[in-house]
Amino acid sequence: MTQNSSENPARFNFSSNEGMQSIQTLINLIPDPAVIYNNAGDEILVANNPLFLLTGLGESDLLGKPIKSILPNLSDTDPVSGHNKPALLRHKIQPLIPVIVRIFPMTASEENEILILKPEEAHLASKKKSIARSELIRNLHVMVEARGNQELRTTLLQALEASRELIKADVICLYKASGTIPRLVQYLSTDDSLSIGLPNRLTSADLINSQRASLWTPELPAVTQLQKAAASFGFKFLVTSPLGRDSAKFGLLVACGKSFDDNPDMLPLARLIASYITGVMDDQIALHNANNLNNRIRQVVKIQNEIIANLDAGVVILSPDLTIAEINPAAENILGYANSEALRQHVDSILIGSESLGTAFTSAMQGIPTLTGGDLTLHHRDGHSFPAQVMTAPVMSNGQLLSIISLIRDLSEEEQNQAANKQLEQRAILGEITAIFAHEVRNPINAIMLSLQVMEDNLDEDDENHKWIENMRDECNKLLYLMESVLSFAKPLEYKMSGIDLDTMIPRLLERWHPRLLLLNISSYYKSEVEHPIVEGDQRALEQVFTNLISNAVNAMSEDGGSLGINITETENEEDGNFYMITLTDSGKGIPDEIRAHLFQPFVTGSSHGTGLGLAITQRIITAHKGKIEVDSFAGGTIFRIYLMKKKGLTDT
């Protein structure tokens, strides 16, 4: 052999005797029986002490003897073909000892060899130990793999089955804390037929007495409830190990067996399994808590999204780089952009306004909220501008900007409401003045009417002044009618709202007008495409609305006759889905353009006999009913469309 040899062999300056002593010393360091064998001369040169001890032979029985003197059935001493082969070793007194022969050459010529004779029992023990180690690794692997299972009981049961193999137990149980009562309940078992011998419930004293992993055997006194149960059921050992951390124990691992193999690894394995199960249960609790938190977050986000989606104000959510992350439906309506169109666009290309907006966003990026209003004007996608108010609020976390939320209010409707309120105030003042004025004027008119009656009574029947008195009486009646109309328009409106069936009211009104329509050669028709179109309204006020509209239509056709039609339908526009549409058409001369633009303003009329208040009162009543009125007119006819709100809580059939 040349491997690991010194480059200067002369340094090993041994005498023949010293060399043999060195070889003897080295071979004695081998723990198994061994000999140095001269293959060429078939002669045992040296034997070590373990061989002498194992066989009971002396030097005279070994040294200088052929190899078969101690290994009678050894047939091959080649280091390759004969290595690791079984043989029988001679004992001085006892039977032959089975051994495994391991052969190693001492020189390149393989003339001298070392034969190590490993007793087969030790070999089998080593092999058994290797198998046990492999089984241990396999069971540990099963435990680890089981942890990936999503269902807790299945995960724990697989882990307990693998643990039962590790500890060589017949049954393993888990006890777990239950509710607020200080007790432990049997939660899971690998074998219900055996676990029945253990208590179903344990008191907290059992957990206190099991703060550390412990092993009980029948040779020891049975102290705890578990130990007494194990003894009565005939178990040969009981291993317990607490579940939980040092500061919080929540359960107990219990392993029992009908046979006991004194395994020094039993308690360390029990502690390992308990720690593993504690980790599994902690993971499941953490996962459960995380799922609950995730569900709560989802609920909060859903509520938040619902609030944002149903806000009247526009909401624009910006990323820190001022690109749009989301806009709500109100902002879509206010700005004219769909959320999908605005997404990831820079805010300057969507929210177009004055320079004060840029200042507001700059402040928001620095963590400062702002409210921009006053003279702020924003631009809709279609180009029209509108007054607005914009509030910007930064969303910060640990000093870092996460997003910017902008709330947009369209002030157009607010300004319209302010104008309407101002008009109502003016009308209230006008109503008071008109009431006083009407009272003061009505009395003189009544006096004139009375005087005319006296004058008429004093005239002869054929007196030509009768016609002048009649003309004066007609003019006084016109003044009284005008004062009544002015009072009706100016006084505050008080309505008694109820469900009104238009399919009953309108035909009844047409029946009242039938004689006059017949006289003026006007044909009428009525149709309702809705069965029982019930609206929310005041009976007298709505009758006045349709009376005014029918009266205007009749006046427009009084000279040449014509046709009058009324039709009730559902609205075509989804936005007006809560309304019925009543269409009133006539075949009159139509309304001149210069009048149509101001048709619903007081004292605007195209008739020489009208006051100009009928349509103004009509529109006012319809507006008070939360409806609307539209008009189209052309040479040869006029169309009025009235939208009245459906009665709440009723379903159209």
Extended strands (E) in 32-79: 34-38, 43-47
Is residue 66 over pLDDT 50?
Answer: yes
- What is the per-residue pLDDT for 2? 44
- What is the per-residue pLDDT for 122? 59
d(CA 302, CA 448): 74
Average pLDDT over residues 92-99: 88
CB 160 within 8 A of CB 188: yes
Considering only the C-alpha atoms of the chain, give the largest distance between any 2 of them, rounded to a whole number of Å: 187
Least confident of 8-17, 322-331, 355-364: 8-17
- What is the per-residue pLDDT for 501? 93
Task: Look at 263 and 483; give whichever has higher pLDDT.
Answer: 263
Least confident of 163-167, 249-253, 268-272, 534-538: 163-167
- What is the per-residue pLDDT for 1? 42
Contacts (Cβ under 8 Å, ≥6 apart) of 135: 165
d(CA 407, CA 466): 74
* Closest C-alpha among 653, 527, 632 to residue 582: 527
* Closest C-alpha among 524, 535, 552, 526 to residue 617: 552
Extended strands (E) in 430-532: 498-501, 522-528
- What is the per-residue pLDDT for 433? 67
Task: Look at 431 and 39; give whichever has higher pLDDT.
Answer: 39
Beta-bridged to residue 405, according to DSSP, are: 317, 393
CB 453 within 8 A of CB 477: no
d(CA 62, CA 74): 15
Is residue 326 over pLDDT 70?
Answer: yes
Least confident of 14-28, 123-137, 562-576, 621-635: 123-137
- What is the per-residue pLDDT for 618? 86
CB burial class (10 A; 0-12, 13-18, 19+) of residue 398?
Answer: exposed
Any idea how long the chain is? 653
Task: Look at 357 and 137; give whichever has higher pLDDT.
Answer: 357
- What is the per-residue pLDDT for 235? 93
Task: Look at 45 and 414; give whichever has higher pLDDT.
Answer: 45
Structural domains of the chain, with CATH: 9-122 (3.30.450.20), 147-288 (3.30.450.40), 311-410 (3.30.450.20), 415-490 (1.10.287), 498-645 (3.30.565.10)
- What is the per-residue pLDDT for 82? 85
3-state DSSP call for residue 317? strand
d(CA 430, CA 492): 10
Average pLDDT over residues 577-586: 91
Is residue 565 over pLDDT 80?
Answer: yes
- What is the per-residue pLDDT for 563? 93
- What is the per-residue pLDDT for 447? 79
Is residue 34 over pLDDT 90?
Answer: yes
Band of residue 133 on the pLDDT scale cut at 50, 70, 90: low
Is residue 344 over pLDDT 80?
Answer: yes
CB 431 within 8 A of CB 489: no
Helix (H) or strand (E) holding 379: strand 377-379
Alpha-carbon torsion (408, 411, 417, 421), positive or negative: positive
For residue 508, the one-letter residue type is: R
Number of neighbouring beta carbons within 10 Å of residue 486 = 21
- What is the per-residue pLDDT for 578? 86
Residues 426-467 have pLDDT tens digits of 666 666 666 666 666 777 877 787 888 888 888 887 888 888
